[in-house]
Structure 1
Amino acid sequence: MSIQNPNKKIRIEGEAEEPQIDRLSSLPDHVLHHVLSFFNDTQFSVRTCVLSSRWRSLWKHVPRLTLDTDFFNSASSFARYVDGVLSSRPDGSNVDEIHFFHLGFSLDKELFHRVVKFAASSNCQELIVCVGYDEILEPHLLADSNLGTLRFRCTTLGTGFGSCALSSLRVLDLDDCCLPCGSAADLDPFANFPCLENLTLCRCAMEDRQCCFKISGPRLVKLEISALCCSKLEIFAPELKFFDITDMAKSPILYQLALPSLDHGIISVHDNGRVEKNKEEMKASCISLLQGLHNASSLNVRSHFLEVYS
């Protein structure tokens, strides 16, 4: 006795087979461009060109490029790959984001400059850069760019960063970066970014931690600072609406703040054992911070902050 699988279709002789439909390939170009941009490296988008003639050129139009040395054995092979990707883009094809991660090899500064120039010519709005602490990123490499958003990760910024005029920059995010003190402009590095509205500094340190660090932002509306290492911080931001500062116990900082339009402030601190060692300095830091935030419409002070300074 044989039992037939109920899920198995029985083909009737003479009946035509159902045509196989490639539903993915039938999607509009702009949808496929968006899908391809989610690969963690653009090289995987490039590989789809062998699927069929439909996919042959789709990768050339992806709105986000991710260029990462992690998938390459040498700096030269990575450079050839990057140049190939950039040169394959059709004229007039815009890019929304470029992610450039160059770790494990000495930075090819000419290559990076080509990436920045490409970003400028393709109306790129966001550039994310990670080149490692050992490499000093010279500011002239960013010259003449019209970037709207710039994010640095694990990067040492070279002397003169404060002199690099980025007239279109609206969002700047520095995470785990070293900031220079080599020139007067570096002590007030954001003064030449007239359109800057959103600034985030996370785990950043001054090259000379005894420097007085200044943040001047005539159009700055949102500022987030976490674990900034410097001895004194001056902030002049007449349009600032939101200010969030955390990890104050990381290093005692004296504050001088001019924030006349502040709507909401947030203060929090994580006690990592340094508070008791620097009790008086931390109290002075606390007082100077609260004085600078006295005109905020609302102030959210984390309970642990009060415990630390009680």
Structure 2
Amino acid sequence: MVELKTETNKNQKTGREKEDERDMLSELPDDVLLHIMHFMNTKTAVGTSLLSKRWNNVWKCLPTLCFSRSDFKTLASYYQFVHHVFSHRATSVPLHRLYFEACDIIARQIFHLYTSLLHYVPHLRIFLYHQSTKKCNYSIPFIFSSPSLTSLTLILSNQNTCRMKLPQSLKLPALKTLNLTNVCFTARDSTDERAEPFSSCFALNSLVLVGCSLSDNAEVLIVSNSNLSRFIHVKYSEVSRYKIVLSTPNLTHFGIRSSEAYDVSSTRDLALLEEANIDITDRASRVIVLRLLKMLSYVKILTLSECVLKEILSLSYFEHSSGRRIIPLRFVRLQTLKGKNTEQIEVFMKYFQNSQKTEVEVINF
């Protein structure tokens, strides 16, 4: 009898134990649950609606949506999910951040159906790929006239098959950060050889261009923006050649990456330049390299690729064989020089002079 009573007590739960087993997570307020969902991917967050009635509608108020094709087994299930989320989301809650990837055909449908929702998203990241082998022109007009967009990343997977022409001028007054990959800039008109898309982005602070091109007869990309502090340009060898002209008096960080040197100039001194990285990997024209480095005369930290360093070192042999003296590159504020194979430091520093006569730190990496 004693043993039976003991066994019965084991099966009986105290009030404290029952309290511990309550679904205390579901009792939290919506804003706390939404904060927890912020750390989930969108597919998992939407899946919480299956937990109980309490969770049915919480996800509909998510301020951030991230749609990734890799989370789904098939394209059909992925696009069905995207439509489900957009069509059932609470329209009273502003969408703060969106990451979206899709083929161009489906993206057109999504953008057309939900333009009013997407037009006011402050932070937008879009990755587009083209499934057909036929070439196409693509446009997303609502993006480039958004009054509230502050951060935009737009990536086309391959410009050879899918071409996106941007408007002549981007009307994005609140935009601070812009990253563009494989897009095409348009000249002011059919007779003009210059494209100047960024002058109306008055708040723009950071600009990164990767594999971009110019349309029609355009040969010069003008980056004109008085607020811009960071500019990175990555050029693919197959992209048409064009010149870049900077009108960016407040630029503090500058970088280019390419297999060959190309013309970059500035309409005024870059007097606030803190750091520059010149990464040319294959062919470096001595004339273009020297012109580029003269443009960077106010830089404090300078990183040069091995190809650029070799071209500068070749000046010594040119000077010796031709008997002509090469005017050294003068830097007003240079503090640190980074590069590979800087062992021949005496020869190298012969062409790098700090006008303030302070010692320059050389870092070999």
- TM-score bracket relative to the smaller structure: 0.7 to 0.9
Unmatched segments (≥5 aa) in structure 1: 1-9
2:262 alignment partner in structure 1 = 253
Cα shift readout 1:266-290 (whole Å, capped 9, x = no counterpart): 123252xx32xxx5xx222211211
Change in CA separation of 1:234 and 1:50 when aligned onto 2, cut-off 3 Å:
same
Q: Which moved more, 1:143-152 or 1:15-24?
A: 15-24
1:12 alignment partner in structure 2 = 10
Counting only pairs closer than 5 Å after superposition, residues 1-310 of structure 1 correspond to structure 2 as: 12=10, 14=12, 16=14, 18-19=17-18, 20-40=21-41, 42-69=42-69, 71=72, 73=74, 81-103=81-103, 106-121=105-120, 124-132=121-129, 136-145=137-146, 146-154=148-156, 158-175=164-181, 177-181=182-186, 183-184=188-189, 187-206=195-214, 211-227=219-235, 229=239, 230-240=241-251, 242-248=252-258, 250-257=259-266, 258-269=268-279, 271=281, 274-275=282-283, 279=284, 282-296=285-299, 298-302=300-304, 304=306, 305-310=308-313
1:149 CA drift (Å): 0.7
Unmatched segments (≥5 aa) in structure 2: 1-7, 314-365
Q: Distance in 1 between matches of 2:55 and 2:210?
A: 41
**Relative contact order (C-alpha < 8 Å, sep 6+): which is higher?**
1
RMSD of aligned C-alpha atoms? 3.2
SS of equivalent to 1:213: strand
Letter in 2 for 1:148: T
Cα shift readout 1:77-120 (whole Å, capped 9, x = no counterpart): 766544432332324312221111113x6344242244443133
1:27 CA drift (Å): 4.2
1:222 CA drift (Å): 1.8
SS of equivalent to 1:106: helix
Q: Distance in 2 between matches of 1:52 and 1:36?
A: 16
Give the percent of matched residue pairs that are identical in Structure 1 and Structure 2: 21
Q: Distance in 1 between matches of 2:140 and 2:188?
A: 13
Q: Distance in 1 between matches of 2:112 and 2:203?
A: 23
1:142–1:164 CA contact under 8 A, matched in 2: no
Change in CA separation of 1:260 and 1:169 when aligned onto 2, cut-off 3 Å:
same
Q: Distance in 1 between matches of 2:180 and 2:93?
A: 28
| Residue correspondences, number | 285
Q: Distance in 1 between matches of 2:23 and 2:124?
A: 35
Cα shift readout 1:134-167 (whole Å, capped 9, x = no counterpart): 6543152325422111101225563342334122
